[in-house]
Amino acid sequence: MTILENAALVLRCFGNNCTDLTVSEVSERLGLPKASASRLLKSMRETGMLEEIGGSRRHRPGRMMLNLSAAFRYSSGVIGRARAAVHELSQAFGHTGYVSIRDNRQVLAIADFEGTNALRVGASIGNKLPAERCATGRSLLARLAPAEVALLYPDGPIAERLAPQLDRIRRTGYALSSQETTPGVDGLAVAVGDPVTSEAVSLCLVYPHNLVSDAERNAMIDAMIDSAGGIAEAVGDPLFRAAAERRVPA
């Protein structure tokens, strides 16, 4: 086991309700001898990967990580464009917007833009959501071939519920969720991808269920598909489809 692998395992402990770690916690969570855990954290401290909180024995990621996440977010052409697009959309409609990527069966917001409306949905990045249970996630899943989706969800029930939803997204070009993750909150999502890097991102707007008329929602859908279409054209996404039937009442 190289020290780099162990270091990565330590870093992976962070992020899910875990903002700091001690030597013993690392020793226990990774099953390492105390001695090794102690030396490992020491080395990581010295390299700046970790830093001590105050003068205590608690460790958190070093501040270098702030630069790294910034580098990640700007390294992708699609991501940069998506950020700009969602920022505009968020300002135009006053609702909170996200840019998200999919990581296996989860989606991860990599940028958020708080809305300007008095009543708007709070934004928080870095959290993971199950892909099959939000508009953002489904918009990204809909870019996969049905066979790939089946591979990702071997458990029957989920796949069965998912298939018609994804079909609809593929036809209409956008994904919708209504009070799914959070009561009172609806979401709209459209996905684009870069064929070169094969990275796909989802543009998403979230808004209060009761405050948005059908007309406004349609306007948002149009605007999102427009924006995403621009990105798709710029990066040459062959999978992007502008919605055809979206104005036909359900």
Partner DNA sequence: ACAACCGTTCCAATATTCGAAACAATTATC
Partner DNA sequence: GATAATTGTTTCGAATATTGGAACGGTTGT
Residues that bind DNA (CB under 7 A): 1-4, 6, 22-25, 27, 32-43, 56-57
**Minimum CB–partner distance for residue 17 and DNA (Å):** 19
Instruction: By CB under 8 A, tell whether 234 contacts a copy of itself.
Output: no
Could you say which of 24, 34, 35, 69 contacts a copy of itself (CB under 8 A)?
Answer: 69
Instruction: By CB under 8 A, tell whether 210 contacts a copy of itself.
Output: no
Residue 105 binds: one of DNA, a copy of itself, none (C-beta under 5 to 8 A by kind): none
Q: What tokens appear for 32 in the block?
A: 């390492």
**Which window, 62-70, 143-151, 215-223, 229-237, contacts a copy of itself (CB under 8 A)?**
62-70
Instruction: By CB under 8 A, tell whether 218 contacts a copy of itself.
Output: no
CB 13, CB 58: distance < 8 Å: no
d(CA 75, CA 81): 11
**Minimum CB–partner distance for residue 199 and DNA (Å):** 17
Instruction: By CB under 8 A, tell whether 35 contacts a copy of itself.
Output: no
Neighbours of 106 (CB within 10 A): 15
Collapsing DSSP states into helix, strand and coil, what is residue 21?
A: strand
Residue 182 binds: one of a copy of itself, DNA, none (C-beta under 5 to 8 A by kind): none
Q: Which is nearer to a copy of itself, 106 or 165 (CB)?
A: 106
Instruction: By CB under 8 A, tell whether 119 contacts a copy of itself.
Output: no
In 3D space, the residue among 100, 192, 106, 198 whose CA is nearest the CA of residue 153 turns out to be 106
SS3 of 135-164 = HHHHHHHCCCCHHHHHHHCCCHHHHHHHHH
Task: Please give the torsion angle defined by the CA atoms of residues 129, 135, 141 and 142, in that order, rounded to the nearest 10 degrees.
Answer: 180
174, 179, 182, 212, 217 from 185: Cα distances, Å: 17, 5, 6, 10, 13
Q: What tokens appear for 37 in the block?
A: 């855990």
Instruction: By CB under 8 A, tell whether 3 contacts a copy of itself.
Output: yes
Could you say which of 24, 47, 178, 218 contacts a copy of itself (CB under 8 A)?
Answer: 47
d(CA 207, CA 173): 19
**Minimum CB–partner distance for residue 95 and a copy of itself (Å):** 13
Binding track, positions 124-163, relative to a copy of itself; x by CB under 8 A? -xxx------------------------------------
Q: Which is nearer to DNA, 195 or 208 (CB)?
A: 195
d(CA 189, CA 203): 5
d(CA 203, CA 105): 18
Instruction: By CB under 8 A, tell whether 236 contacts a copy of itself.
Output: no
In the range 85-104, which residues lie near a copy of itself by CB under 8 A? 87, 101, 103
Residue 200 C-beta-side C-alpha neighbours within 13 Å: 22
In the range 184-203, which residues lie near a copy of itself by CB under 8 A? 194, 196-199
